[in-house]
């Protein structure tokens, strides 16, 4: 299906060639390949992003020259390894706007969210936590209907263990929600409000500061899933005033196997750890143990040191590109995605409509064609997207869908790739005979 892209983009300054406006594409060796006989168009950065040479080189250099057990031993090599590990913490904490002692290494963002929920569960069971962290029967935990399972299941578990009540901010027919929707749910019994900064399905950008202020008016804690925002938008957790926030390295051009939890200092110090063991203690007897201060009290066992180094390199890399420049580039691509998809017949766009600010990802349902067939059709043309429910089954169920096809951009994405995606999407229904 031929699309008049000059009309669709309305003359917007969008990167069209093999070079993105951030100048980043050449930094990613992974992208220099063909897929099924076509130049690779990687439009699945919302699932996992690719790594620039700066990240690959940082990890490799650490492993070749500095690899040793951190915080263990008196060797100068151990000192170098420990310095690299803790300097990485300083870099990533600065990237998200946190203090160094407010950032805990985790295995991923799901682990970070579980660390908070399990810590609150442990506090309920042990009975030794301040009132701000005490969740009990009749208290209310509020999440939106649009959450990734990682920001839903831990709260289900907390509610089951404590007798708390799980309540939901409802989404509208396009998958979005408003502050008025939140006000109708948050009340005097609300103790936790957990939500995504950016929805991984709809691309909706949440009003974080406003919702946080509303939650705090009622004495509730705010837990932010920042996985889909940290790589793409400027993020300052202290300015947003959230109490906890989770990020994941592999979504922001870093390694897999590592994420981070931000926790407001006084809350993190009082939160019971979800795990215990070596590296978390100052003194152990056969009957008890004294814990280190946060963040080390949460980091039991051998840590992912080279991954932390890579995570920090990814943060430095994004900073070097300019975070406002990254956001601007991706915003232009997102506008082109939404405009292009909106021009296609028989395609349902999930999330905010054209003209409403949103993140640079689109999820679509193609009339008469299953998302897995759409994904295979695109893959045959060298275009990589995500298909399925994107770990958000309740949201898809609310929208009357079982699955969608999602395209999401990164710093290396170009308008050529967006055009290829939209053009191919326009041919899907005819190929499968769904336009008859």
What pLDDT shows up at residue 15? 44
Which of 320, 346, 380 is where one domain is finished? 320
Q: Are 226 and 215 in contact (CB under 8 A)?
A: no
Whether residue 10 lies inside any domain: the answer is: no
Calculate what percentage of the chain has a pLDDT beyond 70.
94
Residue 18 pLDDT > 70? no
CATH code for the domain of 344:
3.90.1150.10
* Cβ neighbours of residue 120 closer than 8 Å, sequence gap 6 or more: 129, 133, 135, 158, 162, 192, 271
* Angle between helices 53-65 and 305-321 in degrees, nearest 10: 150
The tens digit of pLDDT for each residue in 111-163 reads 999 999 999 987 766 667 788 898 999 999 999 999 999 999 999 999 999 99
The predicted pLDDT at position 354 comes to: 80
Cβ(404)–Cβ(410) below 8 Å: no
186-215 residue pLDDT tens: 999 999 999 999 999 999 999 999 999 999
Has residue 16 been placed in a domain? no
State the pLDDT at residue 74: 82
Whole-model pTM: value is 0.94
Mean pLDDT of 16-41: 83
Residues 338 and 418 in one domain: yes
385 part of a folded domain: yes
Q: Within the chain, what is the greatest distance between any pair of CA atoms?
A: 75
Does a structural domain hold residue 2? no
* Residue 281 in domain: yes
**φ and ψ at residue 11, rounded to 5 degrees:** 75, 10
Mark whether 84 and 206 lie in a shared domain: yes
Instruction: Give the total residue count for the chain.
Output: 436
Distance CA 428, CA 436 (A): 12
Task: Please give the residue range of the domain that contains residue 401.
Answer: 25-48+322-432
For residue 279, being part of any structural domain is answered with yes
> In the annotation, is 227 catalytic?
no
Q: Tell me the C-alpha distance between 280 and 79, whole Å.
A: 18
Same domain as 247, residue 370 = no
Which domain-ending residue is among 267, 290, 320? 320
pLDDT of residue 4: 57
Span between the terminal Cα atoms of the chain, in Å? 15
Q: Based on the domain organization, do 426 and 286 belong to the same domain?
A: no
Question: Same structural domain for residues 115 and 187?
Answer: yes
Contact (Cβ atoms closer than 8 angstroms) between residue 165 and residue 138: yes
Helix (H) or strand (E) holding 431: helix 415-431
Whether 42 and 138 share a structural domain: no
- Judge whether 272 lies within some domain: yes
Domain shared by 215 and 346, yes or no: no
Does the pLDDT at position 220 exceed 90?
Answer: yes
Residues 280 and 144 placed together within one structural domain of the fold: yes
234-273: pLDDT as tens digits: 999 999 999 999 999 999 999 999 999 999 999 999 999 9
Same domain, 409 and 263: no
Helix axes 323-342, 415-431, angle to 10 degrees: 20
Other beta carbons less than 10 A from residue 60's beta carbon:
14
Closest to 406 in 3D by CA, of 372, 358, 357, 356: 372
**What does 334-351 look like in DSSP terms, one character per residue?**
HHHHHHHHHTSTTEEEES
- What are the tens digits of pLDDT across the range 380-403? 999 999 999 999 999 999 999 999
Residue 406 predicted with pLDDT over 50? yes
Return the CATH number at 180. Answer: 3.40.640.10
Q: Which long-range contacts (CB under 8 A, 24 or more apart) does 323-326 make?
A: 323/233, 323/234, 324/234, 325/21, 325/22, 326/22, 326/231, 326/232, 326/411
Is residue 315 a part of any domain in this protein?
yes
Residue 14: pLDDT over 50 = no
In 10 A of CB 229, how many CB atoms?
A: 24
Which of 320, 347, 381 represents a domain boundary (last residue)?
320
The answer on pLDDT for 73 being more than 80 is no
Number of domains into which the chain is organized: 2
For residues 191 and 227, membership in a common domain is answered with yes
Give the pairing of strands 221-225 and 190-196. parallel
Cα–Cα distance for residue pair 398/401, rounded to 1 Å: 8
Nearest to 55 by CA among 332, 314, 275: 314
pLDDT score, position 17: 39
pLDDT reported for residue 353: 83
Whether residues 108 and 211 share a domain: the answer is yes
Residues 337 and 277 in one domain: no
* Residues in contact with 388: Cβ distance below 8 Å, sequence separation at least 6, in sequence order: 371, 372, 403, 404
List 391, 393, 416, 432, catalytic entry? 391
Name the H helices within 163-297.
Answer: 179-183, 208-217, 237-240, 265-270
pLDDT for 208 equals: 98
């Amino acid at each position: 299906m031929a699309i008049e892209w000059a009309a669709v983009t309305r003359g917007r300054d969008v990167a069209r060639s093999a070079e993105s406006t951030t100048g980043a594409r050449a930094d990613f060796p992974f992208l220099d390949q063909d897929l099924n006989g076509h130049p690779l168009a990687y439009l699945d950065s919302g699932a996992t992003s690719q790594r620039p040479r700066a990240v690959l080189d940082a990890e490799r250099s650490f492993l070749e020259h500095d690899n040793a057990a951190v915080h263990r031993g008196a060797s100068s090599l151990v000192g170098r390894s420990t310095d690299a590990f803790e300097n990485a913490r300083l870099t990533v904490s600065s990237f998200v706007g946190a203090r160094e002692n407010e950032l805990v290494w985790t295995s991923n963002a799901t682990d970070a969210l579980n660390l908070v929920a399990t810590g609150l569960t442990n506090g309920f069971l042990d009975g030794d936590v301040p009132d701000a962290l005490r969740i009990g029967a009749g208290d209310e935990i509020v999440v939106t209907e649009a959450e990734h399972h990682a920001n839903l299941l831990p709260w289900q578990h907390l509610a089951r263990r404590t007798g708390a009540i799980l309540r939901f901010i409802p989404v509208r027919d396009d998958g979005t929600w408003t502050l008025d929707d939140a006000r109708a749910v948050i009340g005097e019994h609300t103790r936790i409000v957990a939500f995504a900064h950016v929805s991984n399905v709809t691309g909706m950008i949440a009003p974080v500061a406003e919702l946080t202020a509303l939650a705090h008016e009622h004495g509730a804690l705010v837990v932010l899933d920042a996985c889909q925002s940290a790589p793409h938008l400027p993020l300052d957790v202290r300015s947003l005033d959230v109490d906890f926030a989770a990020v994941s390295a592999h979504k922001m051009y870093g390694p897999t196997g590592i994420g981070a939890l931000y926790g407001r200092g006084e809350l993190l110090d009082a939160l019971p750890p979800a795990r215990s063991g070596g590296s978390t203690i100052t003194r152990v007897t056969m009957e008890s143990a004294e814990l280190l201060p946060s963040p080390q009290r949460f980091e039991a066992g051998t840590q992912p040191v080279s991954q932390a180094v890579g995570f920090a390199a990814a943060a430095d890399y994004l900073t070097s590109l300019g975070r406002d420049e990254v956001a601007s580039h991706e915003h232009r691509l997102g506008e082109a995605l939404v405009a292009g998809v909106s021009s296609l017949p028989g395609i349902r766009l999930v999330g905010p409509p054209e003209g409403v600010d949103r993140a640079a990802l689109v999820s679509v349902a193609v009339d008469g064609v299953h998302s897995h067939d759409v994904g295979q059709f695109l893959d045959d043309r060298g275009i990589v997207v995500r298909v399925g429910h994107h770990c958000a089954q309740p949201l898809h169920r609310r929208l009357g869908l079982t699955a969608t096809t999602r395209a999401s951009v990164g710093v290396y994405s170009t308008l050529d790739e967006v055009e290829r995606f939209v053009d191919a999407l326009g041919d899907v229904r005819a190929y499968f005979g769904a336009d008859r």
